[in-house]
Structure 1
């Protein structure tokens, strides 16, 4: 490897893409093409970066397996940044295996981190944790250590393990300081805002207030009966009952919880659960049926008794009943939560991340666009959706993934 290629690679490692381009911008040999592609990616021209990396991978011979694998890892990272979740994950896994086989542990670790970040983005926390289990980041250079700790913090935050998330972010900040890469430092600072931004609202006894992530964690272990409107789950310290596929039952449970320790009138329950403005006997009969179903679902957690006006919720073991609600409640909030990262998303990538049908996501995007909340760029397969980051808009509790007790 000649001195210009070596100098360009070192410049890229320290976050200096312009310095790298000064050395290889006019060269078209495979190593130079690869470095130019990485430099363009760091400068934000992802389309040009992808083309250069593909050219480099084709130009490397079959005997240059390590160089080709490095190009694949770089392409995978570009795909992740551009939210191309349809990019073949198996190719990245094969590239990582090649790098490990040939002793390139640094780039193999980078490939692992890209895989974990992708799994984290689509909410597959168990798989991400298994991949990181037993991995020791200490031999890595500071930049990769920071990226590793960011992935660890992301998993911990989504598991509502705030102490572990804070510790990982502290380690990431120290590694980013040692790496002295401004973009990496900014990424760590941005990730740290998750722990400082309200992540939910507490509603109890007619009052409500915002909660930080650590307060949410404390609430779930407080012994209270929590009606979790972020995940449509009713839980206490002992048991969790999911009503995610029973929206009417959850609406009834939430209405009863918000009124606790009082009761809720039948007309209010009909309005909340069935959106019935003018209830008739059929609505009242259906309400009795749904209340019976809710009693059966929550029999281990609470009783529901009839009153003169309507119904009352009475917890079996808890001394307090609390509703945990998202800070922002509106239609298609989950779609907005993903778009709030400021990146451009395709509808197919959003469908993968949300585990929803492409048509459902497309309808949501069209409605949000009509309301002026998102914008589309491009046409056909190249169409992307994005929105400016919403100040204070939380994403953690809207992303898929189980809580510690699930």
Structure 2
């Protein structure tokens, strides 16, 4: 199947699209990524989206408008990807949508909401669309995240030692391989760094470009100690979190007690991300940590993380042939492929579900919906070739 994978993460800045030629043979998923493009949200839509996120409050009319507008942006991105990567013909779009709320109370996940109405994608491209991947895992008792765990386990199958696949977006998540694999959100990735920059610059800057502010600043150990006291870090996996907790209001509650220069605040938030990731991975003693996501473009963060990982080798997914910017969109392209073939897209041990489930809902395209034959066995590994 020629699949377009669509992803917009917890940084809420752009929609990433990957074109992937995927087939299943001899219990192995073969993925050939042929292209990657990224389209930024229009400024007005991004501003309205961010205003709607916790701790903001919105009415149902705003939710409806966002669902339509985000769906139209996803549709335009998918259409551009189909034309650019597959000369106008493809088989499937797998759309993660835009997470606006993940309902977690006392460590249990009760619901999730991703906006981006798939009908707009199906109507514009004429292709079937798989979306709403997380809800089924939650209904089966899981956390609904991180859903890239199964992709990570298949992709890293056969590597020597124990590997940890780490994605640093707004929130950081990790999958650790081994006899008893585990996956969980470690805590904030770029979320609090970005929030600190936006607060300090009155919204003129949205992130710490190339980690320059953190590099100039000094980590305030008293503030760092206070931040590390958050109870989330002591919870055992599987666990998930999001900008419902780690958001701008979180930073605003903490900072009044600390009169620090902007660069010191950003340096401390960057250290928090490095500390919490390393501390979360330490009990599993990974031999290597393979990083993807926007955090890889912050050399100060990567340097802090490398210093705290001990003997583990730190590398990026690019070094394993998977561009870090394409990782999550590729993963959801694979999950959409699995759904269309009636195969589970989750690992129950990693999400905490009672069983692995076929994920998502399918919106038919322009023609009759024809599902391929379901394989007799689930895939055991994934082999990827990237032309991105």
Do the structures match in fold with TM over 0.5? no
> Which interval holds the TM-score relative to the shorter structure?
under 0.3
More strand as a share of residues = 2
More helix as a share of residues = 1
Output the TM-score relative to the length of structure 1: 0.24
Higher relative contact order (CA 8 A, sep 6+): 2
Q: Which has the larger radius of gyration?
A: 1
Output the TM-score relative to the length of structure 2: 0.25
